[in-house]
Amino acid sequence: MSLSGKDIDELRPKIDKLVVRYNGQSDSTICNVALSCISAGYDKRKICDKLTGVMDSKKAERMTERLMELGEAVRGCLKSSRKRALVEDVEREPKKSRAKESRDNGGGMNEDNSVAKALAAAAAMAGGGGKTNSSGPGLAIPMQLGEVVGADSALNSKQIEEMMANAKKVIEERKKALTAIKSDTGKPKFGLMDPQMIAEAEKARRIAQLQAQIQEKINAVSINAAVAAAQAHVREVTAKPKPLILDAQGRTVDMEGKEVQLTQRMPTLKANIRAKKREEFKQQLQDKGSEDIAEQTFFDPRIAAKTAIRNKRALKFNEPGKYVALADKMRTKAQLEKLQSEIAQIARKTGITTTTKLALITPTDARDDDVPEVEWWDSIILAEDSYAERSVGKVVFQGGAVTNLVEHPTQMRAPTDPLRPIYMPVFLTKKERKKIRRQNRRETWKEEQEKIRLGLEPAPEPKLRITNLMRVLGTEAVQDPTKIEAHVREQMAKRQKAHEDANAARKLTPEERRLKKIKKMKEDTTLGVQVAVFRVRDLSNPSKKFKVETNAKQLFMTGTAVIFKDCNVIIVEGGPKQMKKYKRLMLNRIKWEEDNIKDGDGNEVPNKCVLVWEGSEKSRSFSGDIKFKLCPTERVARELFKKHKVEQHWDLAYSGAVLETAQDAG
């Protein structure tokens, strides 16, 4: 289905409205694609595919349905217009044939062809079509008429004149027959004709009706055009300004010579006009208010009448330095309050309030080198100023110095208490964490938008992708698709590189990863150190010895390991988590019972590890990693532990080993 330029111009506003409805704004690219689809006669699927390339897929589906309906309507209109064109052609044929018959049919090839066409049209209107028609007597058309259309110049002018005369006779006879069979009301008498003649008569009647309707429309159009032209002429004449006529003295006169006074308009500002109207309105309100007050019987002249007019507020200027002085005053007050709070807090912590009360009753003239007869704190309750028996036996409560009230001392921080207060951590749900993150991102976005709005930062360029290329750029993408696609891919690569660079910048170096791991493994032992003492029967297995030493180093624990016959002692120091992991290593992970050792009697017994003691100390007793030390005698081993002031651990472990040996022997 091909559309003409006129059809496309009529169809474009409708499609543009559909684009605005489904796309939210007018887009010439989408409009052109829709017009090309309707003109090409695409089906629903192909139109949807074309629109998806320039707009959203869901919107394209909804718009495709409306475009299909619009295409059906356009096709119906085109079919009806073609039918009307065919009818008009049929109506024009009799006029053309009659016009050709009235022409002079002189000799020549062109005249022969025109005559042949006129004869063919007349034959068609008469119903013969170049064939012999036996519908009525004397109405036959010779067969040579059909051959005239393709005839050449072999026929002479005489033969053509004869054929034209015969054709005219046939046409006249046919007209007479048609007029003879009509009744007085103008309807044909079908009883005198066969069915073919009835059909031809009905066809002629319809053609006459169509011709009459067309003539009426042409007349109406011509009348309307004449009326419109007359109205336009009248408007043009009236719209023209009247000519200005001046007499010899320079005065304005009309066509009759009479003087005309022109209206003079003084230009003024609209602000002045509004101000004048405002003053008039205020004056009216004041007059009306005074009249109302005078007419009221309950009017009290002692009370000032308040008008309905709102007085204009005047500007009030502050003295220079007013707010600076106010700010200095506020800052000084805040510093004083802060200083007072700090002094009060220090006084509460150090117990200076109690000391101040005691200082009130302390004698001021006493010297440090003099020994008083009675101490000042006892002078309040003794009857005399001496420690005699009679004075001590009699206790006097003077001036309410001793009461039944108890003054509690200020609680001091214990050595094991942390320097900073410990607060219970707040654990948020996943939904709460998402909400906080969303709020923070929203605030950051608002700050960026405010900076862009104030011109502090440039506006970011649109984030282009292959999918939103047509929707963002529009006509620019259609003009040079290759260049635009290259630009989009370059922008995508730039964003990817920026993302990878940001990840690389956040990535920790090997040294930072090592320090992070060490920080995670180490624990704060300022408040106390966890200590554990293990006793192992035999440590000759190098594999188990390596595990004991390496795990202590990996957990950053301090301590020592003493190798002695039937009493190998291992002491480790660290935090709670470190101690938990090391205890699991010594008591569960290492399979000590796999090794069999010989006791004093020569019998084989399984090796084992025993936790001798576990507790906490204020500080570490050892420094550095665990080192294995071989002690030949019990005295050397004890001296080693005594050097670090933990000889009690050796005594406890050695006594346990002796008791265990005695039990095994018994």
244/247 Cα distance (integer angstroms): 10
At residue 329, the pLDDT reads 92
Q: Which helix (H) or strand (E) holds 533?
A: strand 529-536
Confidence band (pLDDT; 50, 70, 90) for 190? very low
Locus of tokens 């080198």: 369
At residue 536, the pLDDT reads 94
3-state secondary structure 590-626: CCHHHCEEECCCCCEEECCEEEEEEEEECCCCCCCCC
Write down all domains in the chain, each with its CATH number in brackets. Answer: 5-83 (1.20.1390.10), 523-665 (3.30.70.100)
86/97 Cα distance (integer angstroms): 17
130/203 Cα distance (integer angstroms): 19
User: pLDDT for 96-110, tens place per residue?
Assistant: 444 544 454 444 444
Q: How far is CA 662 from the centre of its chain?
A: 82
Neighbours of 55 (CB within 10 A): 20
- DSSP, residue by residue, 305-357: PPPSPPPPPPP-PPPTTHHHHHHHHHHHHHHHHHHHHHHHHHHHHHTHHHHHH
At residue 13, the pLDDT reads 82
- Give the residues across from 535 on adjacent strands: 569, 610
Confidence band (pLDDT; 50, 70, 90) for 416? low
Q: Which helix (H) or strand (E) holds 202?
A: helix 195-239
- The answer to whether residue 623 scores a pLDDT higher than 80 is yes
Neighbours of 12 (CB within 10 A): 15
Under 8 Å between Cβ of 586 and 594: no
Under 8 Å between Cβ of 405 and 386: no
568/52 Cα distance (integer angstroms): 82
Q: Which of 360, 361, 356 is nearest to 374 (CA)?
A: 361
Q: How far is CA 590 from the centre of its chain?
A: 59
Higher pLDDT pick, 318 / 242: 318
Confidence band (pLDDT; 50, 70, 90) for 642? very high
In this structure, of 18-27, 241-250, 489-498, the range with the lowest mean pLDDT score is 241-250
24/125 Cα distance (integer angstroms): 58
Q: What angle do CA 87, 88, 94 make, to 5 degrees?
A: 100
- Which residue type, as a one-letter code, is found at position 384? E
Q: What is the mean pLDDT of residues 310-336?
A: 87
Query: How crowded is the C-beta side of 198, counted as CA atoms within 13 Å?
Result: 7
Most confident of 128-142, 168-182, 294-308, 516-530: 516-530
Quick check: pTM over 0.85?
Answer: no
Under 8 Å between Cβ of 139 and 173: yes
Confidence band (pLDDT; 50, 70, 90) for 75? confident
SS3 of 246, please? strand
At residue 130, the pLDDT reads 40
SS3 of 541, please? coil
Q: Which of 595, 587, 535, 541 is nearest to 564 (CA)?
A: 535
At residue 192, the pLDDT reads 43
Query: Rg of the chain's alpha carbons, rounded to an integer?
Result: 61
- The answer to whether residue 194 scores a pLDDT higher than 60 is no
User: pLDDT for 240-264, tens place per residue?
Assistant: 566 667 777 777 777 777 777 766 6
SS3 of 185, please? coil
User: pLDDT for 422-471, tens place per residue?
Assistant: 788 889 999 999 999 999 999 999 999 999 999 999 998 888 888 888 88
Name the phi and psi angles at 656, rounded to 5.
-65, -40
Reported residue count of the chain is 666
User: pLDDT for 195-238, tens place per residue?
Assistant: 666 777 788 888 888 888 888 888 777 777 777 777 776 676 55
Most confident of 3-7, 188-192, 288-292, 549-553: 549-553
As to burial, measured by CB atoms within 10 angstroms (0-12 exposed, 13-18 middle, 19+ buried), residue 399 is: exposed
Name the phi and psi angles at 26, rounded to 5.
-75, 140
